[in-house]
Chain A
């Protein structure tokens, strides 16, 4: 307590709505060089608002300082390791940001004629080709603005495929280790999600799969490597079982980072998949988006992709080379207002070109090396429910700590924050009790991994010797452990002046 008494308590940052002063402004508009209209006459009094919306009134310096102070409260990947499993929080290269800020890209309107948008359409076309090559798919749509959107588009492709074959099917099989978005997307597409249990190695139980698959199976949604960081070694058999029953194989590409240049889902027989540009292809996560979740499909599903599709005519019959193909009668429709998160695509394209084929393979190899190295360092101190070599990530369990002194995965996560490190994904996958799911990525140096391991080791020691330190964490963060139960009970999601 002696240190606590000398420590200055930092006040919380007031909201925008508690700052400023009437009449203050942070930005001036260009002068109005046409007559000001009489709103009541031109628009009609019945359409007008009685009171202007109560927005803050601040100077530019106040706005910038407010948000800069808020920025200081965030952990971020430019600062230190951010080992959220299945989120692939790799370093976001600076040059990609520069490429994506070129005015030629930022200032082009989506309704521009194709002849005036050759650079952007070419980029979408070629990025689609590169992603097809990397994944082993034949055609790619960059329209889905996030992974879950790619999943929904994919499930709607599955739906359209079966509808064309004259009989709709009812269910989609999802392993119990899957991301929550999988069953949610299945349901949104009008299918029933049928969960199958994983076997003792954390893989799809192939015998169980045989029992579950039947003529009503529209597809299986499989993640490979899966969320336990384990490669589905029997992927070919899984594909064959589903194909023989007339179903399709959807691959959740969230963990594609481990496969770059090593194995392609398309070669394993998968029919369609989404990729996450904000994971595998290094685009920043933005505090929760914008992401990008392109959908790749094999030839037999290409007609169903969202329209329009970026296309190329080298003969330039219409006077230019790249265009959007809107003539897609079998398309599932659009899943985005325009062409997806275009500026995110620019960054992913820049990333692929920077790395080249050799570099992409090195990404996967080092992601796997880093994960296995960290697993080896941590294995003595935590339980490892699925032992053996891992791919890009691995899952520890705090079961030993919980049984011993009651320290839970949540406490360990909070204690990591005290050390200026981010926590792993916790309590996921759901099939592991007290799960700590760790994905270091290839952009962490050995020193960074060593430091993370040292802190984890220290926390394991604390869990035994001074558990209150762990369960009382965090204490070095801007706020202490927050009351989530109060947030849900006394719902306050909008500032109401008090």
Chain B
């Protein structure tokens, strides 16, 4: 039997030790009327070569980024992943271990996560970070829960310019909490400051995304100043790569910084596993959800690491825990730590400058195409929105026939933006790719909507 070492003879001898006549006897507690009759209706068994051939066939039904020129983003980005990242995350010592419950036998995982926390703190400018949560969306939702508890208020203001996933997941998470969730309207592609000010009284949290779903930079200084006097906590959902050049959340008064960390060494992988990170000030460290690794010493004074502040967590505080999270995204966090170490101080900055430069080149190239306009004129980082003379869905469909995925159709999320595409650029998009996108769009428009 696959993966079961026991032979029939082992089984017999083990039953003898137990004092049972058969395995059936061990199942005596399971009522007979509940037993499965016959076999489950699942396929298999397959041998390794049969399985791999089936899996390859399935995988071949996908058209992946390698086969197309892609400008898809929206929170999940196709970056170059250094080979050393995969080398480390494929080490059995990391991927076949579990949550470091026995610290003395888990120092590798513990120190790596401590280093991950440090890297996130340095990127965000905040004092402390946790060991990760599932993704950027749940990180934002968990930040709202922190703010609700810290302020003892019950209203959350969520920027309408934030990623649709951030908004819908936060809405789901907060459904049971009796929370008033207000989506702030958009003006010129960013948060409407007047609307923010009007809704601020009694708010527990103000959640912004920076850069936002459209790639635009939010008026963070103005938002920070407004929120500072309101008693609400400012939650900034940020792109970690952008933080190599953009002001960190601490600079504009964010009490909690969260974000999607997939771009740090993980593949796009159909959207999972992703990596949610969370950082905050020392004042709020006890409200953070999930694992936190701390440095300490052993009885001989040797440096070591443990899970700390565990009294926040569900296994101790049960219904009064700060969150229900248990398993997080440890291996993806490890990959992010490896990725950031490989790129380093200069490398991450160069990456951010490349993304900014390529996306500005792309925006300029597309804006020159007859019939295409930039929807917004504010500063942006890696993504920007173009407006087409007809529905974006049609453009996407036509371009996909020539192997170009031009971006995300805004019409899926914003009813008044059916002609708009969010175009996303990474260091993998060469000048040639960008030029082919521009000429592809030009050709489709020129032919009245056909590639």
A–B in direct contact per CB < 8 Å:
yes
* 86-140 of chain B: CB within 8 A of chain A: 87-88, 90-109, 111-115, 117-119, 121-123, 127-129, 131-132, 134-138
Contact B84 A286 (CB under 8 A): no
Given A55-B119, A99-B55, A267-B36, 17 other A-B residues pairs in contact with their CB atoms under 8 A:
A29-B347, A49-B246, A49-B248, A55-B340, A55-B344, A56-B345, A74-B108, A95-B48, A119-B61, A148-B314, A180-B317, A353-B45, A358-B1, A366-B11, A425-B101, A492-B296, A494-B114
Is B21 positioned at the interface, with any CB of A under 8 Å from its CB? no
Closest 3 CB pairs of A and B: A338-B271, A104-B59, A190-B176
Is A354 positioned at the interface, with any CB of B under 8 Å from its CB? yes
Contact B356 A42 (CB under 8 A): yes
Q: Which single member of A119, A181, A352, A483 contacts B296 (CB below 8 Å)?
A: A483
Given A78-B92, A107-B64, is A285 in contact with B18 using a C-beta cutoff of 8 Å? no
Give 1 or 0 for each of B1-31: 1 = CB within 8 Å of chain A CB.
1111110001101110111100101111111
Contact A193 B318 (CB under 8 A): yes
Contact B122 A54 (CB under 8 A): yes
Contact A289 B327 (CB under 8 A): yes
Given A34-B361, A353-B51, is A159 in contact with B176 using a C-beta cutoff of 8 Å? yes
Contact A236 B34 (CB under 8 A): yes
Stretch at the interface among B194-202, B287-295, B368-376, B436-444: B287-295
Given A71-B91, A97-B90, is A333 in contact with B296 using a C-beta cutoff of 8 Å? no
Chain B residue numbers with a CB within 8 Å of A15 are: 111, 114-115, 118
Is B390 positioned at the interface, with any CB of A under 8 Å from its CB? no
Chain A residue numbers with a CB within 8 Å of B446 are: none
Contact A113 B400 (CB under 8 A): yes
Question: Nearest B residue to A425 by beta-carbon distance?
Answer: B101
Is A280 positioned at the interface, with any CB of B under 8 Å from its CB? no
Chain A residue numbers with a CB within 8 Å of B299 are: 480-481, 483
Question: Nearest A residue to B1 by beta-carbon distance?
Answer: A362
CA distance A184 to B315 in the complex (A): 9
Looking at the assembled complex, report how far the CB atom of B382 sits from the nearest CB atom of chain A, in whole angstroms: 11
Is A384 positioned at the interface, with any CB of B under 8 Å from its CB? no
CA distance A44 to B216 in the complex (A): 12
* 88-134 of chain A: CB within 8 A of chain B: 89-93, 95, 97-99, 102-113, 115-120, 122-123, 130, 133-134
Is B387 positioned at the interface, with any CB of A under 8 Å from its CB? no
Is B337 positioned at the interface, with any CB of A under 8 Å from its CB? yes
Is B70 positioned at the interface, with any CB of A under 8 Å from its CB? yes
A-B contact pairs, 7 of them (CB 8 A): A12-B303, A99-B52, A188-B173, A236-B34, A286-B332, A368-B26, A389-B28
Give 1 or 0 for each of B313-356: 1 = CB within 8 Å of chain A CB.
11111111101111111111010011011111111111101101
Contact B379 A26 (CB under 8 A): no
Chain B residue numbers with a CB within 8 Å of A64 are: 84, 87-88
- How many residues of A are counted as interface, with CB atoms below 8 angstroms from the partner's CB atoms? 201
Looking at the assembled complex, report how far the CB atom of B264 sits from the nearest CB atom of chain A, in whole angstroms: 11
Stretch at the interface among A205-213, A399-407, A471-479: A471-479
Stretch at the interface among A240-248, A294-302, A441-449, A455-463: A441-449
CA distance A367 to B356 in the complex (A): 54
Question: Nearest A residue to B127 by beta-carbon distance?
Answer: A494
Looking at the assembled complex, report how far the CB atom of B56 sits from the nearest CB atom of chain A, in whole angstroms: 6
Is B69 positioned at the interface, with any CB of A under 8 Å from its CB? no
CA distance A102 to B58 in the complex (A): 10
* 170-197 of chain A: CB within 8 A of chain B: 179-181, 183-193
Looking at the assembled complex, report how far the CB atom of B214 sits from the nearest CB atom of chain A, in whole angstroms: 15
CA distance A68 to B91 in the complex (A): 8
Is A235 positioned at the interface, with any CB of B under 8 Å from its CB? yes
Is B229 positioned at the interface, with any CB of A under 8 Å from its CB? no
Question: Nearest B residue to A445 by beta-carbon distance?
Answer: B5
Q: Which single member of B169, B291, B313, B338 contacts A337 (CB below 8 Å)?
A: B169
Contact B431 A33 (CB under 8 A): yes
Question: Nearest A residue to B353 by beta-carbon distance?
Answer: A36
Is B357 positioned at the interface, with any CB of A under 8 Å from its CB? yes
Contact A480 B298 (CB under 8 A): yes
Question: Nearest A residue to B325 by beta-carbon distance?
Answer: A148
Chain B residue numbers with a CB within 8 Å of A78 are: 92-93, 96
Question: Nearest B residue to A443 by beta-carbon distance?
Answer: B3
Looking at the assembled complex, report how far the CB atom of A293 sits from the nearest CB atom of chain B, in whole angstroms: 8
Q: Which single member of A340, A357, A491 contacts B308 (CB below 8 Å)?
A: A491
Chain A residue numbers with a CB within 8 Å of B111 are: 13, 15, 70, 73
Question: Nearest B residue to A107 by beta-carbon distance?
Answer: B64
Question: Nearest B residue to A423 by beta-carbon distance?
Answer: B102
Contact B123 A53 (CB under 8 A): yes
CA distance A482 to B349 in the complex (A): 38
CA distance A391 to B27 in the complex (A): 8
CA distance A361 to B62 in the complex (A): 32
Contact A47 B357 (CB under 8 A): no
CA distance A31 to B123 in the complex (A): 24
Looking at the assembled complex, report how far the CB atom of B432 sits from the nearest CB atom of chain A, in whole angstroms: 8
Is A334 positioned at the interface, with any CB of B under 8 Å from its CB? yes
CA distance A291 to B329 in the complex (A): 8
Looking at the assembled complex, report how far the CB atom of A98 sits from the nearest CB atom of chain B, in whole angstroms: 7
Give 1 or 0 for each of B401-425: 1 = CB within 8 Å of chain A CB.
0000100100000000000000000
Q: Which single member of A47, A91, A339 contacts B247 (CB below 8 Å)?
A: A47
CA distance A365 to B14 in the complex (A): 13
CA distance A97 to B94 in the complex (A): 14
CA distance A478 to B109 in the complex (A): 13
CA distance A334 to B31 in the complex (A): 37
Q: Which single member of A68, A264, A337 contacts B274 (CB below 8 Å)?
A: A337
Question: Nearest B residue to A486 by beta-carbon distance?
Answer: B296
Chain B residue numbers with a CB within 8 Å of A334 are: 137, 165, 168-169, 172
Is A438 positioned at the interface, with any CB of B under 8 Å from its CB? no
Looking at the assembled complex, report how far the CB atom of A160 sits from the nearest CB atom of chain B, in whole angstroms: 8
Question: Nearest B residue to A346 by beta-carbon distance?
Answer: B55
